[in-house]
Structure 1
């Protein structure tokens, strides 16, 4: 007969409560919620309907907490109202690969909510104390199916999420470190400029393009000597578009 250790169960539940604590929804978080692209352009009457009909809860989550794991089923609409998330996948070789950093306020994983295979393709972890809003799938579906403006907004946001995933895979599909760096930078470059701001640290960028930190630094130095790019103050990088055309 298996003996259940009630003290152990209580301790585990208490630890989970400390990691994720329910907090009240107030005007501050209301403003955050309606600043995200999913809800920002909706008419006022529809925003009122969202507050009335969306079945949601708010949680404060400690730093370095896994909130969703790769392979989990997506059962809710997720909106990060405060904090930053790190998104990683485990590849076929068992290596952890950085996909992106999610900055608040932002809805995330929206394409997976109504997919047939609605398992998360990645693991989401907090990098700092964060606030997460989760809304039930049924209440979200009710709003989307009833209000065309909500449907249009949801499809637009979901499409943008797929673009982010495609961008990441495009970087990882390149064979050389140089190609991966340049594709990463070009994807973040405005159409009419040759300068891009590096938002990742070199360590984070190395993880993002799945190379070692020393190899990344070496390649940056080589490209700067060859006149392919120039590092400037404020984490800005100026690209030589003409030179890059012969590489990418």
Structure 2
């Protein structure tokens, strides 16, 4: 992990995340000016933050992908989600009284991480209500990811797990979704083997439940999916 320059490219990346993207230009200028920022280039397969660490910064992944895991009561590593850049993460824990992280964050490819101190982040949030509103929305979405993972794992069959996962990511105005993860990553997320997952995808396609298209897009047959418990 080495420090790198916070240049214009990464400034644009930072201002594109949901926490800051819809703000007026004058506030965006203040974000760059007021945040106490450090930028790190991190190799793949590197633990960025460990479960139990204190969340003392605002963390923003500007490049790459993170894997988020927790260690359960039986000392088993359980995959929670993948974080795709650019995105802030661990935000719900920054201002909690007990702000220890409940999960471990690890790079799965070379990544760039931005950190901003808790004090400089609080100063911005206190000064600009629009940033506070966005911060609360982003924090809420982080909790949704964990809830969704538990919902997926609560389903008994592989098919149900796949369909719950797909339906929760579909746009209300479309029946098509883009898969952003590999079959291997999805198998780990669903807690099933890769061959079993591939077999189920093939079965659903033959039955007309899904149609796989180019560039990892999948079209869902919403009428057929109603026959399953979702």
TM-score with structure 1 setting the length: 0.85
Q: What corresponds to 2:83 in structure 1?
A: 102
Shift of 1:151: 1.0
Q: Deviation per CA, 1:173-203, whole angstroms, max 9, x where unpaired?
A: 2122111111011112122332322222111
In structure 2, the CA distance between the partners of 1:236 and 1:147, relative to structure 1 (3 Å rule), is closer
Note if 1:35 corresponds to 2:16: yes
Residues of 2 paired with 1:51 and 1:163: CA distance?
A: 29
Distance in 2 (alpha carbons) for counterparts of 1:232 and 1:32: 30
Give CA deviations for 1:36-69 in whole Å, capped at 9, x if unaligned: 1111122222223223322221111112110011
Superposition map of 1:124-139 within 5 A = 124-139=105-120
1:234 lines up with 2:215 in the alignment: yes
1:226 Cα deviation from its structure 2 partner: 3.3
Alignment size in residue pairs: 229
Instruction: Structure 1: give runs of 5+ residues left out of the alignment.
Output: 1-19
Cα root mean square deviation, aligned? 1.8
Normalised TM-score (structure 2): 0.91
Structure-2 change in CA distance of 1:166 and 1:175 (3 Å): same
C-alpha distance in 2, partners of 1:145/1:72?
25
Q: Which whole-Å CA distance do the structure 2 matches of 1:204 and 1:98 have between them?
A: 10
Corresponding residue for 2:186?
Answer: 205
SS of aligned partner of 1:38: coil
Q: Aligned in 2, Cα 1:242/1:48: closer, same or farther, shift over 3 Å?
A: closer
Give 3-state SS (helix, strand or coil) of 1:242's partner: helix
SS in 2 for 1:211: coil
Larger radius of gyration: 1
Distance in 2 (alpha carbons) for counterparts of 1:228 and 1:57: 47
Q: Which runs of 5+ in 2 are unaligned?
A: none
Give the drift of 1:212.
1.2
